[in-house]
Amino acid sequence: MQVTATVRNVSESSYVGGAPLLGDAPALDLANTHYAVRGRPRDGLASPVDLAAWARELAPRLPMVDVAALADLPVADRDVARFLDLRAAVRGIAENLTGGHVPVASDVAVVNAAADRAPSSPALVITPRGDLAKRARAGAPLLDQILAGIAGDAVDLFAGERAARLRACQAPGCPLYFLKDHPRREWCMPACGNRVRAARAYRKRTKPVGA
């Protein structure tokens, strides 16, 4: 499913399988596969086809993932369930952190378990041109490598310096999270800010005189 101009909350992001990719962090990109269209919740990982397309787009940004194998990426319903479990945990931690609360232990356990699914190590390989390159060396299935890579990013995000910049979008109806990169930024993207400002202007224009 490709989302086009009908999307308002996330219209300036990239789309794969219907999900926005803001590029702040792989863990947040997973969290943001639960997004909104005109204020109505949507699921960008609703099917194995969606997950396969989304994973192919995201995987090159993950360390220690064998991207050469992405062309053949079989995905089953059980794989979708695993990614959705991790998404729920990441969103739960993000919600608690941005709300000033202590994360739930069960969410932390889900992230840690996902990170353990694909232990890997770097390896040197000689490319066809004779150069040296680093490749992932892992015995785990590719989807486990991707799941573990996202979970590892979640560990680095929530326990590292980036956590101080984690924000929930302030636009009504938008469920996305982002990393604040400007003191005045309160939206996941300009489209949400424009929507809020337009709503404020409309309310001001239609406000009864003397109210």
pLDDT (average), residues 120-132: 87
Mean predicted lDDT score pLDDT of the chain: 84
Which amino acid would we find at residue 38? R
Interval 3-19: pLDDT, tens: 222 222 333 345 455 67
Task: Name the residue range of residue 177's domain.
Answer: 14-206
pLDDT at 42: 92
Nearest to 26 by CA among 175, 154, 158, 118: 154
| Token output for 112 | 């840690």
Q: Is the pLDDT of residue 2 over 50?
A: no
Nearest to 113 by CA among 151, 140, 83, 149: 151
| Token output for 114 | 């996902």
Instruction: State the total domains in the chain.
Output: 1
Task: Please report, in angstroms and rounded to a whole number, the separation of the first and last CA atoms in the chain.
Answer: 46
CA distance 50 to 32: 14
**Considering the entire predicted model, what is its pTM?**
0.81
Nearby residues of 168 by Cβ (< 8 Å), 6 or more positions away: 94, 95, 98, 99, 176, 177
pLDDT at 208: 63
The DSSP 8-state label assigned to residue 120 in this structure reads -
pLDDT at 9: 37
**Quick check: is 9 in a domain?**
no
- Measured in degrees and rounded to the nearest 5, phi and psi for residue 47 equal -155, 165
**Quick check: is 118 in a domain?**
yes
**Quick check: is 159 in a domain?**
yes
Q: Is the pLDDT of residue 83 over 60?
A: yes
**Quick check: is 18 in a domain?**
yes
Helix boundaries (H) for 75-210: 77-98, 105-115, 142-159, 190-206
Q: Percent of the chain beyond pLDDT 70?
A: 82
Q: What is the CATH number of the domain that holds 63?
A: 1.10.3300.10
Q: Percent of the chain beyond pLDDT 90?
A: 54
**Quick check: is 41 in a domain?**
yes
Interval 49-71: pLDDT, tens: 999 999 999 999 998 787 778 88
Nearest to 54 by CA among 3, 31, 84, 20: 20
